[in-house]
Chains A and B, each alone.
Chain A
């Protein structure tokens, strides 16, 4: 038990370069980190809409309800190549460089099926809420969950992070290893946390 917790602590201290970019909303303040707001060109909006439809499990009708075609998407450009996209000021999705498009946690709460799920055990929750990445043992222990082998996820898949005994997702992450590797290797970071309950993106109801 203890060694597992220690591993998680170590991971949050030992920040490798990739980790730094992924802890993108642990410290984020609109006044200093937002470079500007630009309306997105309609051709680019079409491309983003297409990407969302291919990367998330969402019907175009539902996406249309969240983000109507006639409403302009606004690109909120932030430091470290982070892009947040808003509709009427409400953050909807975000992206690091040209990586996958993540829903904000608030959007995920409204549409919980758009990303595949993993679950961490109760012991890992407080580390996640402190901004740590999720270690394999927290996902493979009795309280955790990974998709079965026939629905295995490759490394680099955006996932909803659920927590033992809780109904709603606690964060959004990206698999660092495939879910089968997480199971077999069972040590080190399994899922990198991208945004989580209470981080500096969570508190931005409007940007």
Chain B
């Protein structure tokens, strides 16, 4: 561990240059800043292999016209074929187009499903004049249920949590009758509830089961 001992030192060894180089403070090498495509997340040179080439190109054209020229000018397209045969290149382009169409269709279907999914706000009578309000189906709109529960808890100064219903699906349970207020919040797009279509929301009421009518 201690290389200080200088036994058998040669009479006049020339000072090794490496030794003097090692002593000064070495600066860290700064990172290479790689640009990533805001559509597909790849470096733009790889967008051609992704699922959104048309949108990727659109983005690059607007955001970085110089790079667009670099990657998609006629010369660039010629050059990048590289060692690939013309036939293989054609196949690649066809595949990319197919992939893109598939991804688009999938995104469309997902959006349709999302727009069709139902949110249920249910007022449940617990006993006498005590109620809980459950909100079901929000997760289809990509909101974080736990965060929404927190938002509701602080808004109404009441208990609010995410629990599994008997069907095993997550839903938000808020103490108290706040169903109208929650509907209003969705209509106004308050906080995390922004962008949720009001048409998909349904208000229902569940009477106490045990009670005799």
In the bound complex, what is the Cα–Cα distance between A184 and B34 (angstroms)? Answer: 35
Contact B31 A110 (CB under 8 A): yes
List the A residue with the shortest CB-CB distance to B92.
A126
Contact string against B for A residues 51-94, beta-carbon threshold 8 Å, 1 for contact and 0 otherwise? 00000000101101110000000000000000000000000000
B145 CB to nearest A CB, Å:
13
Contact A62 B88 (CB under 8 A): no
List the B side residues contacting A112 at CB < 8 Å.
32
Is A122 among interface residues, defined by CB-CB distance under 8 A?
yes
Is B19 among interface residues, defined by CB-CB distance under 8 A?
no
Contact B84 A126 (CB under 8 A): no
19 other A-B residue contacts (CB within 8 Å) besides A61-B27, A62-B29, A197-B46: A1-B85, A1-B87, A59-B26, A61-B26, A62-B28, A65-B31, A66-B31, A109-B32, A110-B31, A122-B81, A123-B83, A125-B46, A126-B49, A129-B49, A164-B83, A168-B46, A197-B43, A198-B41, A198-B50
Contact string against A for B residues 146-175, beta-carbon threshold 8 Å, 1 for contact and 0 otherwise? 000000000000000000000000000000
In the bound complex, what is the Cα–Cα distance between A203 and B32 (angstroms)? Answer: 19
Query: Which of the four size classes fits the interface of chain A?
Result: 20 to 34
B70 CB to nearest A CB, Å:
10
Give the total number of A-B pairs whose CB atoms are below 8 A apart: 77
A-facing residues in B57-115 (Cβ within 8 Å): 79-85, 87-88, 92, 95
A171 CB to nearest B CB, Å:
11
Contact A111 B32 (CB under 8 A): yes
Query: Which of the four size classes fits the interface of chain B?
Result: 20 to 34
Contact of B28 among A64, A129, A164 (CB under 8 A): A64
**Chain A interface, DSSP helix/strand/loop, else mixed:** loop
List the A side residues contacting B32 at CB < 8 Å.
109-112
Contact string against B for A residues 163-199, beta-carbon threshold 8 Å, 1 for contact and 0 otherwise? 0111110100000000000000000000000000110
In the bound complex, what is the Cα–Cα distance between A168 and B49 (angstroms)? Answer: 14
Contact string against A for B residues 5-39, beta-carbon threshold 8 Å, 1 for contact and 0 otherwise? 00000000000000000000111110111100000
Contact A59 B83 (CB under 8 A): no
List the B side residues contacting A170 at CB < 8 Å.
46
User: Contacts A165-B79, A165-B80: A125 and B28 contacting too (C-beta < 8 A)?
Assistant: no
List the B side residues contacting A200 at CB < 8 Å.
none
List the A side residues contacting B29 at CB < 8 Å.
59, 61-62, 111
Is A141 among interface residues, defined by CB-CB distance under 8 A?
yes
List the A side residues contacting B49 at CB < 8 Å.
125-126, 129
B-facing residues in A99-155 (Cβ within 8 Å): 109-112, 121-123, 125-126, 129, 141-143
Contact A202 B41 (CB under 8 A): yes
Contact A123 B41 (CB under 8 A): no
A87 CB to nearest B CB, Å:
14
List the B side residues contacting A121 at CB < 8 Å.
82-84
In the bound complex, what is the Cα–Cα distance between A112 and B82 (angstroms)? Answer: 23
List the B side residues contacting A129 at CB < 8 Å.
46, 49
